[in-house]
Structure 1
Amino acid sequence: MNDFNSNLLVFGEILYDVFEEEEKLGGAPFNVAYNLNMLGFSPLFISKVGDDKLGNKILSFMESSGLSTEYVSVDSTRPTGRVIVSVTAGEPYYKIIKDQAYDHIDGKLPEADGLIYYGTLAARSKTSKASLLKLIEKTTATKFYDVNLRKDCWDMNTVSLLASYADHMKLNENELIILTEGICPYDGGYVSRGRVLMEMYGIKNLYITFGAKGAAFISEDKNIESRCFYVESMKDTVGAGDAFSSVIISGLLNDTDIEKSLNMAAYYASRICTLQGALTEDKKFYEDIKEELNAFR
């Protein structure tokens, strides 16, 4: 295992996904931090919550889960993040509320020389964007950019800037099409689109997810596709992409062969689809998955 496992940073939003019948803790960066924690790592999570009931619940949950709250600051004037989620045919649709606590991440930042995970949503605001850039601009840490485009919460300039720092970039098939629109032919395949994107931003390692059709990895000399894994008791796909990223990062930390890592990540994502929401407090769920992942060849 590489030394930077002890310096694994995750930056971005933590919020509650509000479903029709319940609220579930989420936010892509937090989902990644939680999954990594359940997989046996010790990430430092950097975010902000409100001084309110939901914020207190988050801090208590993190502490009870073994996650450090040292870099999760508290905003006395803005609320803890909330997202309204509707699910149609298993696919989530998000209504993201503006000016939440995570839009104002401005607390102390840890030194970074290992691996940093970040996304796009928290960078929609000047304050959190400035903190993220401060974290990634002057560091030799490996940078993993998980695109996660959300309607009305991103612009091409921000995506281009964040991508330009990344060593590893992950996005889904639809996001790949959006970011290469007008550059690649409409019927361009994922490989040609992916390589155009890599050339645009100097990306050396690109991961593309295709939902039930699995995932792919592209580098200068590789193009690998994962196996597909059937989901027997499908609930929704909320958090599946975050679970995928978590296992890819785990593979980077453990120097796992990329083809094996890609298949493990696709499998883990399929297992998360059996949950409502992105995570569960049932530790046995993760213990069982860890055993299943350890059996991969």
Structure 2
Amino acid sequence: MTQPRLDVLCIGNAIVDVIADTDDAFLAEQGLAKNSMRLIDEEEAVRLYGLMGPGREVSGGSAGNTAAGVAALGLKAGFIGQVATDELGDIYRHDIESQGVEFLVEARGDVGATARSLILVTPDAHRTMNTFLGAAQRLESKAIDRDRIAEAAILYLEGYLWDPEVPRAAMEAAIEAAHAAGRKVAFTLSDTFCVDRHRSGFWDLLWDGKIDILFANEAEALAMAATDDIEEAKAVLARAVPLLVVTKSEKGASAISADERADVPAEPIERLVDTTGAGDLFAAGFLAGHARGMTLENSLRLGAIAAAEVIQHYGARPEKDLRALAGSLLA
């Protein structure tokens, strides 16, 4: 097996986040469930955008955020996601490449508009996401270059992109290419709505041995295991995947691999501003540690450090020097 050129290659929705402050009254007025994520069409995206307060445009998307975090930690990262030949598509490519991530898919003019997520942040830092997938859900299998997949030590996939049939086929092709090259495949469940819609398909991935590293938060783990006991959920999932990582917000995170388990607390923060991207950056830290051969505990610690940085400001991309924050972990 050849030496990998990239440490982590991420595949996911290429989405530009539009983030605005709001309050509970606005959410209630719009019939929005606080701290949820819903898919919307382009008409609703235009309507809701017109009602939002001043917004900040930041390139996002779960796997894209993770790729940016991996690069910020000094590792080599790539990203595969579909954008359109429009202004937001140009913004997305520029932003992710400026952060040191290789963007491996050409923009297209026949896929509609570039995806965007309208993120409403309440004073308690909870975010309510309204996502128009647009071009992102038009990622096709022909965009998957098997040679590029084979160049990455770890292929990382987001559950959000499993929803539409076309990109699901692209991700399946990528999984096959990664394993054929002897590489590892990591997968994040992304959201409980993804689990509810695709629980059977996700279990098929696990039992068929297609996933080597599974990321889930507590709610997603409970939904997958159909239980209200988080330790039972971890045990059920750990039997189905070589390495399980479960995040628990302010309670820290756990990793289980065979008979080995590690638990770490959350990193202390000065002020909680916006939880957007916390799980994405945690995955970036953990994957960076894993790619460098760190212990489960140190990989979890690196994930906690990256997550703590991103929740102290708006947007899902790191603003401070993650390598400096990691200190001796990355020495």
Superposition TM-score, scaled by structure 1 size = 0.87
2:248 to 186, 202, 210: 210
2:201 to 130, 138, 158: 158
1:124 to 160, 163, 166: 163
CA distance in structure 2 between the partners assigned to 1:233 and 1:269 by the alignment: 13
CA distance in structure 2 between the partners assigned to 1:17 and 1:197 by the alignment: 31
- Offset, 1:7: 5.5
Identity among equivalent pairs (%) = 21
Alignment of 1:8-23 (within 5 A): 8-20=8-20, 21-22=54-55, 23=57
Structure 1 residues 107-135: Cα deviation after superposition (integer angstroms, max 9, x where no partner): 24242332100011112111111111011
CA distance in structure 1 between the partners assigned to 2:81 and 2:317 by the alignment: 18
- Offset, 1:265: 1.2
- Residue in structure 1 matched with residue 145 of structure 2 by the alignment: 109
- Residue in structure 2 matched with residue 135 of structure 1 by the alignment: 174
- Offset, 1:44: 2.0
1:179 to 199, 204, 224: 224
CA distance in structure 1 between the partners assigned to 2:193 and 2:232 by the alignment: 25
Structure 1 residues 52-85: Cα deviation after superposition (integer angstroms, max 9, x where no partner): 1100111222333332233244243411111122
Q: Helix, strand or coil: the match of 2:101? A: coil
- Residue in structure 1 matched with residue 80 of structure 2 by the alignment: 46
CA distance in structure 1 between the partners assigned to 2:237 and 2:192 by the alignment: 19
Compare 81-90 and 270-279 and name the one that shifted more. 81-90
Q: Does 1:264 align with 2:309?
A: no
Say if 1:13 and 1:30, in contact at 8 Å, map to a contact too.
Answer: yes
Say if 1:73 and 1:105, in contact at 8 Å, map to a contact too.
Answer: no
Compare 260-269 and 208-217 and name the one that shifted more. 260-269
Number of residue equivalences: 283
- Residue in structure 2 matched with residue 239 of structure 1 by the alignment: 277
CA distance in structure 2 between the partners assigned to 1:206 and 1:77 by the alignment: 35
- Residue in structure 2 matched with residue 67 of structure 1 by the alignment: 101
- Residue in structure 2 matched with residue 94 of structure 1 by the alignment: 129
Say if 2:65 and 2:281, in contact at 8 Å, map to a contact too.
Answer: yes
Q: Counterpart of 1:141 in structure 2: which amino acid?
A: R
CA distance in structure 2 between the partners assigned to 1:234 and 1:16 by the alignment: 22
Q: Counterpart of 1:120 in structure 2: which amino acid?
A: G
Say if 1:71 and 1:109, in contact at 8 Å, map to a contact too.
Answer: no
Structure 1 residues 165-218: Cα deviation after superposition (integer angstroms, max 9, x where no partner): 11110110111111112xx4x3x2x2321111233xx20111111111111111
- Offset, 1:162: 3.9
1:93–1:163 distance in 2 versus 1, CA, 3 Å: farther
Q: Which runs of 5+ in 2 are unaligned?
A: 21-53
- Residue in structure 1 matched with residue 36 of structure 2 by the alignment: none
Structure 1 residues 76-106: Cα deviation after superposition (integer angstroms, max 9, x where no partner): 34111111222232122222225x1110112
CA distance in structure 2 between the partners assigned to 1:228 and 1:108 by the alignment: 36
Structure 1 residues 203-259: Cα deviation after superposition (integer angstroms, max 9, x where no partner): 011111111111111122122210232221221111111111011111111101111
Q: Counterpart of 1:170 in structure 2: which amino acid?
A: F
Q: Pairwise CA RMSD of aligned residues? A: 2.2
Q: Helix, strand or coil: the match of 1:265? A: helix
1:11–1:227 distance in 2 versus 1, CA, 3 Å: same
1:267–1:63 distance in 2 versus 1, CA, 3 Å: closer
Superposition TM-score, scaled by structure 2 size = 0.79
